[in-house]
Amino acid sequence: MKKLLLFSSLSVVLSLTCCYTLHAQSSWTPQSTNTEAAINSIDFLDPENTLTGFAVGEMGTILKTTDGGLTWESINSGTTETLFHVDILDADKIVACGSNSTVIRSLDGGNTWSVITIPGTMGYYVDMYGLSINPATGVGFICGMEQNIHKTTDFGLTWTPIREGYFGALYNVQMFGDDTCAIVGKNSIFTSLIARSFDGGANWTWRDFYPTDENGMSWETSTHDAHFFTPDSAITVQIEELNATGFITPTVDWEDRFWRTDNHTEGYLECIDIKNNYGLAGGANVFSGGEIYESSDNGVNWTLSETSGKISPIHDVYVGVNSLFAVGDGGAVYTRDKFVGINPHEADNKNIILSPNPASVSSELRFTLNEPQSVTVSIIDETGRIALCPVSNCMLPEGDHQITIPFDGIRPGTYCVLITSGNSRIARKLMIIR
């Protein structure tokens, strides 16, 4: 493994004590959340660096991280309803949905939240399981029990009912612009259901379908999540309620009700995420606990991920460019980097020197390479945005290096200096003062 070496004769100022060295890791690491509430959904502002993220769950639980999931802060949501889904639209706007037709919104990066109850025409409230909002236009859809579908055009402030009062449930919605979207769930006879609209939700085409194994046996299931590559192509995950098993099923032919799958899992599956050809799917085996499946070929083939002992049932997964996340019962948040992991026992080593720190004009970053490597240095603010990238994929020779980081145009505050070299990443805390 390639690593950045240190100047052992130099010291790091006190403000650098929050640092993390990363190395190869094959198993999932549980993170402390200080809650026993089930965590149902996780999302990050930017899959590139996965620093700023939110997780939501039972009793109105909201957790926020600004260091890539290493630590989590509890946020007052203003509600005790169970939250099932969170969607980060940008650095300021976050929307979540939950039980009893509840929607909560934040317009200040998650610091404060307003609670909205979606008005329906049926005279009672239902659980809302999934939502998707276009961050550029504010147009979005929400779905839930009794096949409820509502539409917003103002980032979730107000909602208009589109479909209500059908037996079954809709669990997930994915948008392709304001006019095209797809929804998955189950119908009244516990058969997987999928629907598409190409006119902004005015009209929908519905299809019930059955995962069909290699022996031609078809199964009654409910589809709790899906990743759509296009409106015509998706990979879905199912719960087969009778035996508590699961399926990973690709869409085949929208005119056919029997979709072939080679992935019949021993545990049920209720979540999936695919980005940059890498996929995660999660759920649980009723006998052995939570299960996570991985794919490195865009969802074609799946393998059961290694875990260190029994883990909690998994309710949501998230794929970042370098980091993987899974959340579930008992306040569980598990992390694992695709290629590298965090070694907490090396948290105090001093293999990077950043001085002065705190600083007002600039800082000098010094390090040693034991061989030629491509190096990137990024300065990341508290919202997860890259404020400055003084070095980007620069091939540096073996030996000692010194890089000047100017603070022109950067506001005072606390930042993360992220140094990437090969499969190694090291973070340092930087304070800019005036």
Q: Which of 131-140, 242-251, 347-356 has the lowest mean pLDDT?
A: 347-356
- Say yes or no: domain 26-342 is CATH 3.30.70.260: no
* The pLDDT of residue 412 is above 80: yes
E strand map for 298-385 = 303-304, 314-319, 323-328, 332-337, 341-342, 353-355, 362-369, 373-380
Same fold? 4-20+344-432, 26-342 = no
Mean pLDDT calculated for residue range 369-392: 83
Highest mean pLDDT out of 23-32, 148-157, 320-329: 148-157
Task: Give residue-wise pLDDT tens across range 56-88.
Answer: 999 999 999 998 888 999 999 999 999 999 999
Beta-bridge mates of residue 374: 395
Mean pLDDT calculated for residue range 153-168: 93
* The pLDDT of residue 267 is above 50: yes
183 near 149, Cβ under 8 Å? yes
Q: Please enumerate in sequence order all residues whose Cβ is within 8 A of that of 225, keeping only pairs 6 or more positions apart, or say none.
A: 171, 172, 184, 236, 237, 269, 270, 271, 272
Task: Give residue-wise pLDDT tens across range 187-223.
Answer: 988 799 999 999 999 999 999 999 998 888 999 999 9
d(C-alpha 283, C-alpha 268), whole Å = 5
d(C-alpha 79, C-alpha 4), whole Å = 46
Task: Give residue-wise pLDDT tens across range 31-56.
Answer: 999 999 999 999 999 877 678 999 99
* The pLDDT of residue 239 is above 70: yes
298 near 277, Cβ under 8 Å? yes
382: left (phi over 0), alpha (psi -120 to 50) or beta: alpha
pLDDT of residue 150: 96
pLDDT of residue 16: 28
* The pLDDT of residue 347 is above 50: no
Mean pLDDT of the chain: 86
pLDDT of residue 128: 97
Mean pLDDT calculated for residue range 223-239: 93
pLDDT of residue 419: 84
* The pLDDT of residue 383 is above 70: no
pLDDT of residue 92: 95
173 near 142, Cβ under 8 Å? yes
* The pLDDT of residue 348 is above 80: no
Q: Which residue has the higher pLDDT, 383 or 420?
A: 420
Mean pLDDT calculated for residue range 402-429: 82
pLDDT of residue 422: 65
Q: Which one of 3.40.630.10, 1.10.150.530, 2.60.40.1930, 3.30.70.890 gives the CATH number of domain 4-20+344-432?
A: 2.60.40.1930
Task: Give residue-wise pLDDT tens across range 91-144.
Answer: 999 999 999 999 999 999 999 999 999 987 777 899 999 999 999 999 999 999
pLDDT band at 350 (very low <50, low <70, confident <90, very high): very low
* The pLDDT of residue 22 is above 50: no
pLDDT of residue 382: 65
* The pLDDT of residue 340 is above 70: no
Map tokens 């203003």 to a residue.
78
pLDDT of residue 418: 82
Query: What is the DSSP secondary structure assignment for residue 359, as one 8-state letter?
Result: B
Tokens of 291: 């299960």
Mean pLDDT calculated for residue range 350-375: 85
* The pLDDT of residue 349 is above 90: no
What residue segments make up the domains of the chain, in order of their start?
4-20+344-432, 26-342
Q: Which amino acid is at 413?
A: G
* The pLDDT of residue 229 is above 50: yes
d(C-alpha 252, C-alpha 250), whole Å = 6
Longest dimension (CA), the chain: 72
pLDDT of residue 351: 59
In three-state secondary structure terms, 195 is strand
Percent of the chain with pLDDT over 90: 60
Q: What single string gives the DSSP state of each residue in 270-320? A: EEEEEETTEEEEEEEETTTEEEEEEESSTTSS-EEPP-SS--PPEEEEEE-
Which of 414, 377, 381 lies closest to 396 in space, CA to CA?
377
